[in-house]
Amino acid sequence: MEIIRLENVTKDYTIGEITTRALDHVSLNFENGEFTSIVGPSGSGKTTLLQIMGCLDLPDSGKVFLDNRDVTGLKKNARADLRKSMIGFIFQFFALVPVLSAYENVELPLILNNVGEKERKERVTYLLNAVGLGHRVDHRPDQLSGGEQQRVAIARALVTDPLLVLADEPTANLDTENGKMAMDIMQKLNEETGTAFIFATHDPRVVEYAKRVVQMHDGTIANANAALDLLVAAD
């Protein structure tokens, strides 16, 4: 079942007098339960693609469909409503709220969705245990290691049982062991919950886990189903 479709999407950024085309007539789709890496060199448009897919930004032209619904023309608040229930995000820099505990960070999307306290407790506890942090629920981000923070971020991304999780360079700030741990957890949760995971990355460790690889170059899709072994060989 298709969950996201981009049709001829273009996105330009203007900084000062320079306009850069970040996405150039990109058409792409993703299915339910995918575990996909989007690869490409820096500046190829990976992050911009994720932002458009995640309704964090609007394309300059083209259309975006989420769960078969045209979300291209939605206003800011409507996009926020979509994100809070249908999309989870994992960032390179962990992006936890510094003043909240691990529990409260994972709980925050449920509060935004007006979920009741009892249900919130069940869901948050389940996910923190699933990522192996059931014993660290009251710790704030400054009391957690990088790997632990990213695991909290994974739990937060999944807490609303979203349609998909978008992860932008999720292992960039993690060492080998923690990076592997994070990917193992995401792979396991992908299999258990059926939530699609789409990664923007140039980390071969992440690419190795992917069931599908989308190759980007200069804002275009070079290959929507690149062969993994060829990519690994090229690296």
Site mask, another protein, residues 13-52, x = CB under 8 A? --------------------------------------x-
In this chain, which of 24, 67, 81, 218 binds another protein, going by CB under 8 A? 81
| Residue 84 interacts with another protein (CB under 8 A): yes or no | yes
DSSP β-bridge partners for residue 69:
66
| Residue 83 interacts with another protein (CB under 8 A): yes or no | yes
Q: Which CB atom, from 5 or from 79, has the smaller least distance to another protein?
A: 79
Q: How far apart are CA 175 and CA 116, in angstroms?
A: 37
| Residue 198 interacts with another protein (CB under 8 A): yes or no | no
**Contacts with another protein: how many residues (CB under 8 A)?**
27
Residue 89 is encoded by which pair of tokens? 């995000």
Residue 147 is encoded by which pair of tokens? 């790997």
Beta-carbon contacts of residue 60 (< 8 Å; ≥ 6 apart): 10, 11, 12
| Residue 123 interacts with another protein (CB under 8 A): yes or no | no
In this chain, which of 28, 74, 100, 172 binds another protein, going by CB under 8 A? 100
Is residue 164 within 8 A of residue 85, CB to CB? The reply is no
Q: Which CB atom, from 46 or from 83, has the smaller least distance to another protein?
A: 83
Q: Which CB atom, from 110 or from 210, has the smaller least distance to another protein?
A: 110
**Smallest distance from another protein to CB 208, Å:** 27
Stretch that binds another protein, among 24-32, 100-108, 123-131, 202-210 (CB under 8 A): 100-108
| Residue 12 interacts with another protein (CB under 8 A): yes or no | no
| Residue 172 interacts with another protein (CB under 8 A): yes or no | no
| Residue 69 interacts with another protein (CB under 8 A): yes or no | no
CA 216 from chain center: how many Å? Answer: 17
**Smallest distance from another protein to CB 230, Å:** 31
Which residues would be at the binding site for another protein (CB under 8 A)?
51, 54, 56-57, 76-77, 80-81, 83-85, 89, 91, 93, 95, 97-100, 104, 107-109, 111-113, 156
